[in-house]
């Protein structure tokens, strides 16, 4: 069967009658089995996806199919899907079955998307390499000795390796965009509140966003258009009208004021191949007649510390619900309540999750609250103000998505700080709540060659502009 | 600087145990991260209001309607220990 790299191609062949959804699903199930060593799926819904495919085939035949008929997707294992397991890459959710379907997933199903399985990720979406999973690490299909990025590593590799057409991930500090960059696919983090978080396992609630991963901007735009919008189950979701994202992808690009992060080119920490690939894109923009300027973000070096103070604080609070009482793992040998809580949590959570809960508990403790947590909240406001000023002068901000290409498995696991520093270009969008997308930007000179990502960012709710500009660079 | 004693105090607050074999590495990595976080002290935040809500549309409310979205049987499905009516935990009072 053809290796489909866009939904438009699938739709053309479905319409021509040269394939069926059932054949598509069978093809992906074969691919998943062939590529099992990549460790992408934590569960494959073999029988269910076949049944679902046949239902969609019938709907296509009688003209009642939804907009996603023929779209075979995978879900990061942090998205609630009723009657299916939900583990968040953690032992603490052993044997847990989701009680309800989250809003974003519900909307995809209502448009006849076919869910083929759940995808491996870093535990509770905490990690940048997909090595913090109770299900073992995911491998990058470009080079299986290397990490896929994280935390939505399985979701990115699934698209990269052709195991499904698109994936739904989550992005708290770059968890959609960074693995998209490492795997050579497109990943979008929308504006905070653009997509309801109902049914997304919470990591850091004021940062978390659901985001699509696909081969093309058109597919990412379509998924965003369907998932976005008001929802009675999330009090932080935006009531702003949902844009015509699918049209934005084909819209002509107007002359733009483009800023690029000077640090993204000049910093010694940026791989030379990434620097060169980013420069070429800037030249391309200049040649197309856009204004292109280097900008500095004065608070750049404070971004990551701010991010880690606030997200560990929010995580320590969010993850307090995992206590072994109502669901999930309970340590078998506890005789009193406190011991039961402690043993269940200590045995159920992995080391990085426990480290972040401890850090968060520390920064929220009475004696240190103002010095760390309140301080970071103040710096967060300054960052938001700085970005607001920047975007009065510019339409879009460019940088590499990551300072390096995919590193080797185990290379950064011993030093959490080294791992954190790789998020430098992606966390900005989450700290200020802005939308950003990572698009493929060539490969480095490694053997085998590793994908490079380019990141574009716009002000809140300017996803249409983001998609239009990104498409012009493809 | 977090001391061993403080680490255990925080762990108790977080309802976690510190695994003996991890104590040194956990302490070391947490102190590395905290020292790095302290860079924020270089930023002048005098008079800056803490940002507590990232979206200007915080608290988008709807009418509160009584509904039973999760029947008891279903709510108990994932429980490690239950008696058909309640979640069971180790004895709290002697």
Separation of alpha carbons A223 and A283, rounded Å: 31
DSSP 8-state symbol, A374: I
Find chain B residues with C-beta within 8 A of A341's C-beta: 15
Element (H, E) at B24: helix B23-37
Write down the pLDDT at residue B93. 76
CATH 3.90.1300.10 fits A7-249, yes or no: yes
- B55 pLDDT tier (thresholds 50, 70, 90): confident
Per the structure, the count of domains in chain B is: 1
Find chain B residues with C-beta within 8 A of A351's C-beta: 22, 26
Which residues sit opposite B37 in a β-bridge?
Answer: none
Question: What are the residue ranges in chain A where pLDDT is below 50?
Answer: none
Q: Which residue has the tokens 């280097």?
A: A294
- Burial string for A179-205 (b: 16+ CB within 10 Å, else e) reads bbbbbbbbbbbbbbbbbbbbbbbbbbb
More confident residue, A333 or B20: B20
Left if phi > 0, otherwise alpha if psi is -120 to 50, otherwise beta: which for A458?
A: beta
Q: Which residue has the tokens 């809580």?
A: A341
Alpha-carbon dihedral sign for residues A261, A264, A266, A267: positive
Cβ B57–A382 below 8 Å, yes or no?
no
Q: Which two tokens stand for residue A152?
A: 């939505």
Q: Quick check: is B22 in a domain? A: yes
Q: Which two tokens stand for residue A471?
A: 């498409």
Each residue's pLDDT tens digit, B59-79 = 778 888 898 888 999 999 999
Backbone angles phi, psi at A315, to 5 degrees: -65, -40
The complex scores an ipTM of: 0.96
Asked if residue A130 lies in contact with residue A151, where contact means CB atoms within 8 angstroms, the answer is yes
Cβ B37–A305 below 8 Å, yes or no?
yes
Element (H, E) at B12: helix B4-13
DSSP per-residue string spanning A303-361: HHHHHHHHHHHHHHHHGGG-SSSSSS---SS--SHHHHHHHHHHHHS-HHHHHHHHHHH
User: Of A142, A173, A135, A172, which Cα lies nearest the Cα of A156?
Assistant: A142
Q: What angle do CA A169, A126, A309 make, to 5 degrees?
A: 120
- Considering only alpha carbons, which residue of chain B is nearest residue A332? B80
Write down the pLDDT at residue A169. 98
Find chain B residues with C-beta within 8 A of A230's C-beta: 60
CA distances for B53 relative to A194, A240, A359, A429, B58, angstroms:
15, 17, 21, 15, 7
Cβ A378–B55 below 8 Å, yes or no?
no
Find chain B residues with C-beta within 8 A of A237's C-beta: 57, 60
Q: Quick check: is B25 in a domain? A: yes
DSSP per-residue string spanning B61-74: --------SS-HHH
Q: Quick check: is B30 in a domain? A: yes
DSSP 8-state symbol, A180: H
Separation of alpha carbons A468 and A440, rounded Å: 15
Backbone angles phi, psi at A427, to 5 degrees: -65, -30
| Facing residue for B16 by CB, picked from A95, A308, A357 | A357
Cβ A365–B77 below 8 Å, yes or no?
no
**Whole-prediction pTM:** 0.97
Find chain B residues with C-beta within 8 A of A417's C-beta: 29, 32-33, 36
Separation of alpha carbons A368 and A361, rounded Å: 10
Cβ B80–A382 below 8 Å, yes or no?
no
Residue range of the domain that includes B29: 4-41
Backbone angles phi, psi at A188, to 5 degrees: -120, 130
Q: Quick check: is B48 in a domain? A: no
Cβ B40–A377 below 8 Å, yes or no?
no
Asked if residue A223 lies in contact with residue A109, where contact means CB atoms within 8 angstroms, the answer is no
Question: Could you count the other beta carbons within 10 Å of the beta carbon of residue A442?
Answer: 17
Question: How is the beta sheet containing A114-119 ordered, strand by strand?
Answer: A41-44, A114-119, A72-76, A166-171, A209-214, A186-189, A436-443, A451-457, A396-400, A257-261, A291-295
Separation of alpha carbons A17 and A168, rounded Å: 28
Question: Could you count the other beta carbons within 10 Å of the beta carbon of residue A33?
Answer: 11
3-class state of residue A104 by DSSP:
helix
Separation of alpha carbons B78 and A84, rounded Å: 12
Average pLDDT, chain B: 92
Write down the pLDDT at residue B64. 86
Does the CB of A335 have a partner CB in chain B at under 8 Å? yes
Separation of alpha carbons A102 and A85, rounded Å: 13
Backbone angles phi, psi at A399, to 5 degrees: -160, 170
Catalytic center residues of A? 76, 151, 175
Write down the pLDDT at residue A273. 97
Q: Quick check: is B51 in a domain? A: no
Suggest the residue from B14, B36, B77 to mutate for an interface test with chain A (most A CBs closer than 10 A): B14
| Facing residue for B92 by CB, picked from A305, A320, A337 | A337
Each residue's pLDDT tens digit, A428-440 = 999 999 999 999 9
Q: Quick check: is B19 in a domain? A: yes
CA torsion, ordered A204, A435, A120, B14, to nearest 10 deg: -10
């Amino acid at each position: 069967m053809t290796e489909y790299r866009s939904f438009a191609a699938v739709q053309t062949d479905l319409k021509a009658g040269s394939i069926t959804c059932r054949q598509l699903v069978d093809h992906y199930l074969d691919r998943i089995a062939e590529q099992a060593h990549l460790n992408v799926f934590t569960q494959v819904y073999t029988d269910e996806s076949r049944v679902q495919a046949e239902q969609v085939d019938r709907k296509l035949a009688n003209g009642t199919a939804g907009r996603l008929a023929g779209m075979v997707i995978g879900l990061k294992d942090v998205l609630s899907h009723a009657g299916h397991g939900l583990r968040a890459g953690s032992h603490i959710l052993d044997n847990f079955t989701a009680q309800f379907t989250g809003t974003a997933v519900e909307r995809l199903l209502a448009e006849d998307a076919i869910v083929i399985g759940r995808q491996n990720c870093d535990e509770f979406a905490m990690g940048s390499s997909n090595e913090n999973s109770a299900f073992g690490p995911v491998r990058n299909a470009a080079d299986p000795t290397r990490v896929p990025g994280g935390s939505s590593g399985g979701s990115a590799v699934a698209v990269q390796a052709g195991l499904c057409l698109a994936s739904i991930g989550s992005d708290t500090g770059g968890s959609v965009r960074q693995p998209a960059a490492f795997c050579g696919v497109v990943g979008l983090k929308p504006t905070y509140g653009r997509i309801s978080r109902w049914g997304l396992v919470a990591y850091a609630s004021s940062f978390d966003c659901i985001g699509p991963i696909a081969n093309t901007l058109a597919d990412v735009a379509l998924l965003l258009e369907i998932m976005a919008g008001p929802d009675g189950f999330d009090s932080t979701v935006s009531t702003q009208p949902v844009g015509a994202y699918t049209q934005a992808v084909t819209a002509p690009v107007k002359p733009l004021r483009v800023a690029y992060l000077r640090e993204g080119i000049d910093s010694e920490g940026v791989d030379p191949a990434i620097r060169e690939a980013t420069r070429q894109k800037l030249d391309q923009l200049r040649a197309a007649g856009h204004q292109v300027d280097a900008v500095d973000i004065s608070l750049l070096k404070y971004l990551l510390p701010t991010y880690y103070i606030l997200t560990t604080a929010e995580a320590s609070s969010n993850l307090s619900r995992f206590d072994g009482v109502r669901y999930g793992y309970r340590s078998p040998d506890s005789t009193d309540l406190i011991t039961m809580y402690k043993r269940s949590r200590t045995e159920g959570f992995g080391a990085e999750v426990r480290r972040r809960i401890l850090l968060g508990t520390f920064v929220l403790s009475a004696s240190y609250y103002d010095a760390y947590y309140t301080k970071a909240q103040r710096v967060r406001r300054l960052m938001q103000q700085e970005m607001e000023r920047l975007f009065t002068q510019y339409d879009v901000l460019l940088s590499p998505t990551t300072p390096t290409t995919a590193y080797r498995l185990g290379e950064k696991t011993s030093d959490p700080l080294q791992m954190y520093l790789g998020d430098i270009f992606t966390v900005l969008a989450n700290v200020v709540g802005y939308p950003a997308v990572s698009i493929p930007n060539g490969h480095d000179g490694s053997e085998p060659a590793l994908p490079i990502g380019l990141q574009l960012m716009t002000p809140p709710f300017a996803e249409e502009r983001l998609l239009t500009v990104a498409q012009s660079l493809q | 600087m977090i001391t061993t004693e403080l680490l255990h105090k925080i762990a108790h607050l977080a309802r976690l145990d510190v695994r003996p074999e991890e104590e040194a590495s956990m302490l070391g990595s947490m102190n590395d991260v905290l020292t790095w976080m302290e860079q924020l002290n270089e930023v002048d935040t005098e008079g800056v209001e803490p940002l507590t809500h990232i979206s200007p549309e915080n608290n988008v409310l709807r009418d509160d309607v009584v509904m039973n979205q999760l029947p008891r049987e279903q709510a108990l499905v994932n429980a490690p220990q239950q008696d058909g009516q309640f979640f069971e935990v180790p004895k709290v009072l002697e």
